[in-house]
Amino acid sequence: MPPPDEKRYSSVLSTCAQECELGGLDFSTVLQEMLIEGKRPIYLAIVTRDKASENTRDSLVFALLDACRPLSSATINTIRLACMVASDNVFLQELFKDIPPLSPLSAKDVLLLGPNNLRDHVDVHQKLDGTGPFVAYIRMPRFRLRLRILDTLAVEFAASHRIWMLKFRRIVKTAAANVPPVEMVSPYLELGKYSLPTAVNASLSIPGSSHPGENRGRYLTPSHTFSFGCTHKLSPGRLLLTDDDGTCLLHESVDSSGTFHARLESRYQEAYVTLWRGGEIVDSAGRTPARGPNAIPDNKKIVAQSDAASISSSIVPLQPRPRKISAALFRRRACKKKFSL
């Protein structure tokens, strides 16, 4: 049963819907437009909610969601962006249950998880303002079954004012003709859409799990630790492999019930501040970013106030610098112009 506040908000929104209907307007469409300072109402409701509250079901947000249905793809992206800006992973995990298109689970995933409403869950420990390092505890039920059928699994969470995705791929290795193939798990880390690029220094720990043994009552499978690190800025949509391209056996990655447990620890991340200095774009340490497909364009300026305290960035067009030419090239051009006359 919804809380009393949610009923009150729903009553007010229902009255607004009736007025819109009298005027020939679709209230759901109107409510998903950028009505308040260029933002959608659902965005402001999420970023201004009290994260310290023990009640994860925010009455205003869920009343707005009910009034907005069916949700457009733009609204779903706005919800993900708002959770990222607020670094509110608790609420994001709650919304995954209520909004299936927002969740990283596919339709096959939902079927394999069964009728008991099992869900992947990520519990993030970080500062209340979302700055600094974080530790994420991951739990994925029926991991082995799902990975064998789907070949790829992923969990998504918000931390340090960014969206992160931890992905797992199934690899089958065959050593010899008479040896049965071995199933391996390979982890990847990805920065989600809308996130600011950042250097990564993280480790993934998969604890050993207990299984029945033959010689003794129980034996413990070994634990595994993988490191993720890149000194350059990891951009959204780019996969980050482990430092040693490590893998572990599939049966060693789950406990006796088939549930996968892991701990992802991200250490201090360098503040991402780009400045325009001396005709070049440099980072906060004064280094020029490497050129490549993810390099910052020469005619753009990206300003981010801090690593996590401010997500808002502005792109300001800059005037192109005049091209410098040598004295010899200038004389040749002048000569060519003279003779052409």
Does residue 317 contact residue 292 with C-beta atoms inside 8 Å?
no
Strands (E), 161-277: 162-173, 182-191, 198-206, 210-212, 218-220, 224-234, 239-240, 248-249, 260-266, 275-277
What pLDDT is attached to residue 291?
Answer: 40
What are the DSSP calls for 239-270, one per residue?
EE--TT---EEGGGSB-TTS-EEEEEEE----
CB atoms within 10 A of CB 210: 12
Q: Nearest-CA neighbor of 126 among 136, 134, 114?
A: 134
Bridge partners for 137 per DSSP: 123, 263
Alpha-helical (H) ranges within the chain are: 4-22, 27-31, 41-47, 59-68, 73-86, 89-98, 107-113, 143-150, 327-340
The whole-number mean pLDDT for each consecutive block of 10 residues of the chain, a chain of 341 residues, reads 73 90 91 91 92 73 91 94 93 93 92 86 86 90 93 94 94 80 90 88 80 41 79 82 78 84 79 39 41 37 32 35 59 63 50
What pLDDT does residue 328 have?
67
Cα 154 from Cα 106, distance rounded (Å): 10
**What are the φ and ψ backbone dihedral angles of 170, each rounded to 5 degrees?**
-90, 130
Look at residue 101 in the predicted model and tell me its pLDDT: 92
Cis? peptide before 4, omega within 30° of 0? no
pLDDT at residue 121 in the model:
93
pLDDT for the residue numbered 239: 83
| Alpha-carbon span 44 to 154, nearest angstrom | 28
**Alpha carbon distance 204, 317 (integer Å):** 40
Burial class (CB in 10 A: 0-12, 13-18, 19+), 174: exposed
